[in-house]
Structure 1
Amino acid sequence: MSRAVVYETFGGPEVLHLREVPEPHAGPGEIRIRVTAVGLNPMDWIIASNPQAAAAFGVTLPAGYGFDFAGVVDEIGTGTDEFTVGTRVFGGAMARAAADHIVVPIPPARPDAVFRTPDGITDEVATTLPVAGLTAAAVLTAIGLRPGDTVLIGGAAGGVGIFAVQLAKLAGARVIGTAGAATAGFLRDLGAEPVTYGPGLADRVRELAPTGITAAADLFGIETAETALALGISPERIATIAAGPNPPGGVRATGGSQAGPDDLLRITDAIRRGDLTVPIAATFPLEKIADAVALQSDRHTHGKIVITV
């Protein structure tokens, strides 16, 4: 037997249960991965709590939980020679990452994807990259970020924000990041100039950047996007990830699936050089999945939450 987190009804963290399930095995053209870490993302609990969101991702009940994973290949099906037993890997497995073992096809078809974990990258860090890292890269591409830009990033202390801030700084931009007042020091450590979100955001941004901002990325909702529009930024230089397919004012909607083929390598290289850090806000054992999701869905953590398996 193996273990997997499952839910049979939609709801909050209380619907998540760790169950014993039949141990999966790799069939032809598949590999099995012994999961060691699972990175949590907002989309995970949104899918588990919202039937419409689940349907949009092709998830039906009963379902597993989580997308981002890291681990080790421990079984290989016939006709597969891309990996060997013992290879460290990370990637995504829609609504089934939180388990002792997962089986994935090789070559993978999106949204499932598997990558070799580079030396010098821990499993806990690797499991933060498939959604958050690639989404941040896609956002910065969507707004055409370039050296000399002054970019406003909404939700800068969140899972995607920690990557977006640092990647923007590495690209030569000045970064102003929105967050709560208690997060100011955390954002400064990442290289951003903090600004408190909420009513009056446009005025506070004008005080910080009297010559104006040139681009914006809203990683939480629509407040930052609407503020950027009010400040006269072209919709083509504003992107959102959580405003649905039709964000306000014609600004761009994007996500990790639109990241470039070299973005992941660029991120892992930056981590290995020490130019990009991945703050882990908290780690929980698989048995405490409900507690981890409750903390993650509160959306006030600084950095990523990771499940260890």
Structure 2
Amino acid sequence: MRLTTNAPITAVAEELPFFLNDRIVLLLGPDESLQDDLRETANRFYHNTVEYWRDWVRHLAIPFEWQEAVIRAAIALKLNEFEDTGAIIAAMTTSIPEAPNTVRNWDYRYCWLRDAYFVLNTLNRLGQTTTLEHYLGYLLSVTANAHHHELQPVYGIDGRADLTERTFDTLSGYRGMGPVRVGNQAFVQRQNDVYGAAILAVAHAFSTSACGVAVTLHSSNNSNRWVSAPWRSTTSPMPDFGNYATISACTPFRRSCVGRRVTVWRTSLPVWGEPNGPPIGTTTPLPSKT
């Protein structure tokens, strides 16, 4: 990586304050010499970025009230999409502590299937279906490579399953509050409602006529192989870690989470049940107690 700038190099390199009497440019990019004028390049990048987001927002179904807040929130969600594969990361940060002087500073630069569904649901309600199409391609790739057709709660942006966590003792961390982490050990957890999140994401392809991947999903043998997994997880006695683990992912502390089983059961019926079954959002009787 190379930083090209018209600011005083010494001040930047040594992190020293300096008097600012003109507009400066800091351009971070590949370790290559800049061929064009720095200011002209920066201005072109800036205007291209502004135009891209204006064009993207122009196609949103924005409500009359709270337009500015909705636009800013939608852009923030869109920024978490990795367009090359369709993955949607939880956050663009790692090793920022949840509270001062704690070790709860995880690496969130990965795709949690549950969190991704919430992003898709929000953007889909705003009429933005491109993100949905990209993500469904990512989801199909992930499920095709799922070990024993079982889904993990989180995957890499490239679809890789192994997210073994590492710490770097040579880095002090945010305001000296380490450790600095790369990877997330949550990938070894069993979280049964991940199937519900996956199915709800797929359901949008069937209910949104603007989505161009519904036919592919409907005819995919891939989805048929793992779609029965939610039913196994609802009846399996194996407990899971719950929605949000508060302790180490390696600690063998699991519970039987009723909420997760209800999520899986409820979300499976509208998509994969009877053709005339109840659509999402309607009231369905709960199964009898056994």
Query: Above 0.5 in TM-score?
Result: no
More strand by share: 1
More helix by share: 2
- Normalising by structure 2, we get a TM-score of 0.24
- Normalising by structure 1, we get a TM-score of 0.23
Larger radius of gyration: 2
Higher relative contact order (CA 8 A, sep 6+): 1
